[in-house]
Amino acid sequence: MYKTFENEAKKILSKMTLREKIGQLHQISITPYCNDMDKLRQVIRNGEVGSLILDASATAGNDPQGHVNIDAYNELQKIAVEESKLGIPMILGRDVIHGHRTVYPLPLASVAAFNDELLEKCYRNIAVEALADGVRWTFSPMLDLCRDPRWGRIVEGPGEDPYVGAAMARACVRGFQGENLLEGKGIAACAKHYIGYGAAEGGRDYFRTEISDTTLYNYFIPAFRAAIQEGVATVMSSFNDINGVPVTGSRKYLTEILREKLGFDGFVVSDWGAVAQLQHMGFAESHKECAEKAINAGVDLDMCDYCFINNLESLVEEGKVSIETIDTAVVRILCVKLALGLFEHPYGEKKEYDKEQHLKDARELATESMVLLKNNGVLPLSKDSKIALAGPFVKERRSLLGTWTLDGMEEETPCFYEAMKEVLIDGQLFCQDNSGVFDNSVAIATKADVVVLALGESYLATGERNSVADISLPKPQ
């Protein structure tokens, strides 16, 4: 798919210096340059930046993030397009995981709907909203098969079943990218984290894994194969090792399996800092060796750790990395940029979209993803029931959006109390907003026919770097 743009990409490549080529393999965050924006403008002007990640941190899912600013991004893109020697546009990526302005259920919940058509429609909505804010690339879908619910990131993926994972991959990639990226109606998707990240021992994030080839091919690869068959533009290499070998430094996984066996022809981006992490994992002795091993393994774009931009020139001079390897990586990245139509339409364009319809679709997906475990005749509630509402989530807003929600608005999110108040008449709802121990809840309950407990998990207790030892409700709840 992306190889159809190779000839055009090679024409651009032929005009590039080695430094400019390496610049295309370098992704940065704006955050380190906030106090020196002139420096940022200059490195872009020099052709030393191939991509901007519009996140402020590696754990953007739970860290405070600024909202997208299309005018600021267009200003930086203009420097790349109009002031650099070759005018190569940057590809702007952001963690648009399960929603942008409209937030949809977390992926683990969404797949429980078993409605691929609706899932595709919702991810099409997500792409439309992100595109309207200048985002051209998302680091989603996450396709990590996981069987240990203690792992904090299990909520971001399809769970434990390879068939469900493959179905999710197809729906999300089709939704994000549309029929043809050149039409300018979709954004590039990224299948992550390739591969085995969800098998971390003990459910501990960033931990080691032991995966046999039989398990790898039958359980972990199917979702990625499905994403590749749908034409996913990019793949992200994972943090973990497999049987002692880090994936980000493994030619077996990134070249022999991903490209030669599965037929992937987009580009591979490392996870944030995953190249430099090869040193911490004892796989390399320096950042220079990290760069050597990662690019020779098959990583094309280095996310935010500066290993490529600081070391590839000398590695080429020393003969440890061939110029052909550099050229191959550059062409892959240029092909995706060409497929996105970035050279013709580099700037973000604010567009209107049907917000009400997107909310309806989100509600439908949420409704279909709910699972009723036990009823015993309690539901449905009578319309004239007196209801006691209690618990720490009675008036909670932010956690209803879940982890990895960068652009959803907490202040626009109705809480349980507000939503129930809308459908009940005066005198029917008794509310105890108690975020700690339910000291008054029994007294409230005696006035009611039924008690609704608003319990849940804080968004800060799940997602990346938030593994737990015990998945039961917290003791106060």
Burial tier of 344 (Cβ tally within 10 Å: 0-12, 13-18, 19+): exposed
Q: In angstroms, what is the C-alpha Rg of the chain?
A: 24
Q: Residues for the chain: how many in total?
A: 477
Cα-based torsion angle of the residue sequence 32, 36, 37, 41 in order, rounded to the nearest 10 degrees: -90
Rounded Cα distance, 270 and 114, in Å: 31
* Residue 199 identity (one-letter amino acid): A
Q: From the candidates 95, 241, 271, 302, give the one annotated as an active-site residue.
A: 271
Q: Annotated catalytic, 271?
A: yes
Burial tier of 282 (Cβ tally within 10 Å: 0-12, 13-18, 19+): exposed
Q: Which residues are catalytic?
A: 271
